[in-house]
Amino acid sequence: MRTAGLLVWLLCSAPAAAGTIHNAAVTYQSGSFIVEVDALLDVAESRARAVLTDYQHLERLIPAVERSEILNTREPGNYRLRSVTQTCLWFYCKRLTRVQDLVEAHDGSITAIVVPEQSDFSYGTMHLNLWQEVAGTRILVRSEAAPDVWIPPLLGPWLIKRALRAEAVQTVYNLERMAAEAPLPRDGSPESSLSH
């Protein structure tokens, strides 16, 4: 299950390649899964942002995403985005569609709100912020999503929380690796599209 979209695994520090996950938590309340992550990546903020905003290729970044696409652009930094993920709990697998309105704010933060009538989620929000620090790029993410599908009782929420934690950590690893490998054009800034 995708979190913009955007991470989890431990409640204590853990290495993320050369960076660090300072804090990560997944909770389940009243049908919603809440994911919070605080990580420091050993890459420049501009490189990390280029990877995070490559919305047409989120499957490269987030393990559960099968495909993603921008449905329309209202203006630069204001998009309607659709992603399709596959989630499996033992033998039970479900493909989930999420359509969200996503805005890149002037302060550098990214916010997304699920469009329930076009999604397999009755509710969802995501807020992501990242900025340059001396030691690297700090990234904070908080997302909340309420799947509008049947979840097996008892163990279902626990298994989904485990899956979200594993996916979140892998996403952090992928982000740092992809940002470190992103090609630089001649002017020294990261490529705006990582599709080649």
Write down the pLDDT at residue 4.
Answer: 36
Write down the pLDDT at residue 78.
Answer: 97
Which parts of the chain register pLDDT below 50? Answer: 1-17, 185-196
| Sign of the torsion angle spanned by Cα atoms 128, 194, 178, 83 | positive
Write down the pLDDT at residue 184.
Answer: 57
Write down the pLDDT at residue 94.
Answer: 87
Task: Determine if the pTM surpasses 0.95.
Answer: no
Write down the pLDDT at residue 89.
Answer: 72
Write down the pLDDT at residue 151.
Answer: 81
185: Cβ contacts below 8 Å, ≥ 6 apart: 191
Beta carbons of 65 and 85 less than 8 angstroms apart: yes
Chosen CATH of 14-181 out of 3.30.530.20, 3.40.50.1110, 3.30.420.80, 3.40.980.10: 3.30.530.20
Write down the pLDDT at residue 3.
Answer: 38
Q: Which long-range contacts (CB under 8 A, 24 or more apart) does 179-186 make?
A: 179/41, 179/43, 179/44, 179/47, 179/48, 179/50, 179/51, 179/137, 180/17, 180/42, 180/43, 180/47, 182/47, 182/50, 182/51
Write down the pLDDT at residue 194.
Answer: 44
**Cα-based angle 159, 4, 62 (whole degrees, multiple of 5):** 65
Residue 31's CB: how many other CB atoms inside 10 A?
13
In the chain, where the domains are located: 14-181
Helix (H, G, I), strand (E, B) or coil at 60: helix
CA dist., res. 77 & res. 66, Å (int): 23
